[in-house]
Amino acid sequence: MIPRRAYAKVNIFLKITGTRGEYHTLSSRFMRVSSLYDTLRFERKTTPEFEIRGNFDCEVHSNTIYKAYKYLLAATHSEKLSAFFEDHAVCVEKNIPSFAGLGGGSSDAATFLTMCNEDLDLGLSVDELARIGADVGADVPFFVYGYESANVRGIGEIVERYDEPLLHFEVTTPALEISTPTVYRYYREHRFDPISEEEAARLEATPSREILASMSAKEANDLYPAALGCYPQLKEQEGWFFSGSGSSFFKIEE
């Protein structure tokens, strides 16, 4: 079975549009980072328990890949799927930093779903995989669709391809693990200021290179000031943009 790449992403812009219960709705441009990816493959094993091999800092049952497996099993009731992972482990070569705003866990989960669907002939459509992925995590549908660039709305479930050249990025990640729920909570309590539908539509129609040339890092990402507020040790980096809830920064590699 062929190994697959699970690419990182950056948020060219990330603007809050409102709330939906406990969640924040957003308008964001996701773009693939072609130079940064994890690699997934399946390997034979001898014990029946679900096994993930790789450098992870969480228990198997907390891993997004395991969550993707459980949701996929619930959706398909596939005996082929459960039997396959009794004698195969999921092996992950980790290169994408965790807790960094680059979508590594979501990309791993999406790539796992795609591998299972293709290698085990589960017969699910991409839209069906994306719906399963949305239960795993908000960023997973983007990675399921495999777009290089896309506008993402709602709580991550609405993904629309954006036709533009793929930019190449330099990415730097400080040695700081940032909690996404903590940043969102700080944003809601201290900086809540959703943009209008008109402004969201304007950004969604604007090419990524133009956005990065015309907006500051704080203007482009509503979560950046919130992350600075609740993580004083996070230092601003002039000329760099902030991805997701952080802690990674990126800029175009010319």
Model confidence pLDDT, tens digit, residues 187-241: 999 999 999 999 999 999 999 999 999 999 999 999 999 999 999 999 999 999 9
Active-site position among 9, 38, 67, 222: 9
pLDDT score for 132: 98
Convert 38-105 into a string of H (helix), E (strand) and C (coil).
EEEEEEECCCCCCCEECCCCCCHHHCHHHHHHHHHHHHHCCHHHHHHCCCEEEEEECCCCCCCCCCHH
Helices 104-119 and 64-76, packing angle to 10 deg: 40
Give the span between the Cα atoms of 3 and 178, in whole angstroms: 30
Give the span between the Cα atoms of 94 and 56, in whole angstroms: 8
Which strand (E) or helix (H) includes residue 115? helix 104-119
Q: Is 9 a catalytic residue?
A: yes
pLDDT score for 68: 98
Q: Is 139 a catalytic residue?
A: yes
User: Is the CB of residue 217 less than 8 Å from the CB of residue 224?
Assistant: yes
User: Is the CB of residue 252 less than 8 Å from the CB of residue 241?
Assistant: no
pLDDT tens-digit map of 42-61: 999 999 999 999 988 777 88
Active-site position among 38, 108, 139, 222: 139
Cα separations in angstroms, 157 against 76, 92, 236: 20, 25, 31
pLDDT tens-digit map of 99-143: 899 999 999 999 999 999 999 999 999 999 999 999 999 999 999
Give the span between the Cα atoms of 213 and 192, in whole angstroms: 25
The tokens for 26 are 């957003």
